[in-house]
Amino acid sequence: MSPFSSETACIFLAVLAVLGGTALCKYNKCPGLVQLAICLASLWGGACWLSLSLFWGLVLFSLSCLFVYTYLSGQELLPVDEKAVLVTGGDSGIGHALCKYLDKLGFTVFAGVLNEKGPGAEELRKTCSPRLSVLQMNITDPEQIKDAVSKVTEKVQDRGLWALVNNAGVLGFPTDGELIPMTEYRRCMTVNFFGAVEVTKAFLPLLRKSKGRLVNISSIGGWVPMEKLAAYGSSKAALTMFSSVMRHELSKWGIKVSVIQPGGFRTSIAGTSDMWDKMEKDIMDHLSAEVKEDYGQEYIQVQRKFLTFINEQANPDFTPVVQDLMHAVSAKSPLAFYAPGKFAYLWFCLASFLPTGVFDYIRISNMKKCMPRALRVPNSKNKAT
């Protein structure tokens, strides 16, 4: 069996590069092309390393072309055709931007909001078309969810609901997991996980009618362990796993399920300064004397700088995440996972494939450490007594 010559390999790689370049030019706004390119590059790199025969090189090349064609053919966007979409958390941030974008494209939009008389809801009414309906929908209130189902059912009737986008969520006060009160763990799980699950269960009959889409907005923090986000990350990890299970279970009904795991985008999820004051006070009130002495009050108070850091570093432009959401809602074959945002997919890959020790070293080396009092002053307890 003759070796797969370097000249032959170069020819095939050149042709593949042309195909890939053409695809990138034509579908430059199509999510997942980076992942596709990485897969193909790894495949051909392995082929060259193994020095395959010309025959197997041709087979591999043909399979690669078929794979690219199949992938791109599934990226075709379906027509709007009066499709109805419900988005939770439409008051502000990503949900607000998505409601406006979908309305502009001609979708019938149901914007679930926490406060139907708030500024976010009023802006949607003023700037969007009559197709958009604002729904009072606190996702932790079963009665409001039931009322929303009734209103949506009345409007869509036999068409069903094409897509449900579970976007509403809370961040909480980012600090060490030991310091986060149990009330905050429960709040994150109630909103980010149980709320999304309850809304999903309530609207699934309408999704089955349309054989539509379930899109859950999780977070890169639900896959990549991030310090100070134990409550938030755990709730988003639960939502990610729920979505993965539902993707398998709902496939028999023709419903496609996608998870959006954004990186850092500047939304109102971090809360206001007044909310930070309240959460900081709750933390101090719930700590035992021993824990309070070990960490030190100044350590706890400096944690709010992390919230400021989040807002400063986050991307104010929601375009990448809105485009991925649009793809998940409208593509003929949406992806199971999306990771919009700067370096989000990179961190996803590092957490997935690197040995734990190596990944932990990278994370630690990139973190600016503010040490608790007992670690800064080793004999602080003895000195205090």
Contact of 16 with 40, CB cutoff 8 Å? yes
- Nearest one of 220, 200, 305, 213 to 255, comparing CA atoms: 213
Rounded CA gap, 168 and 359, in Å?
30
Of 71, 101, 185, 232, the catalytic one is 232
Strands of 213-217's sheet, edge to edge?
133-136, 108-113, 84-87, 163-166, 213-217, 256-260, 337-338
Quick one: tokens of 14? 């050149």
The kind and range of the H/E element at 337 are strand 337-338
In a 3-state reduction of DSSP, which class is residue 258?
strand
Active site residue 232: yes
Rounded CA gap, 254 and 211, in Å?
5
Quick one: tokens of 308? 């400021």
- Give the orientation angle of helix 319-330 with respect to helix 93-105, to 10 degrees: 50
Active site amino acids: 232
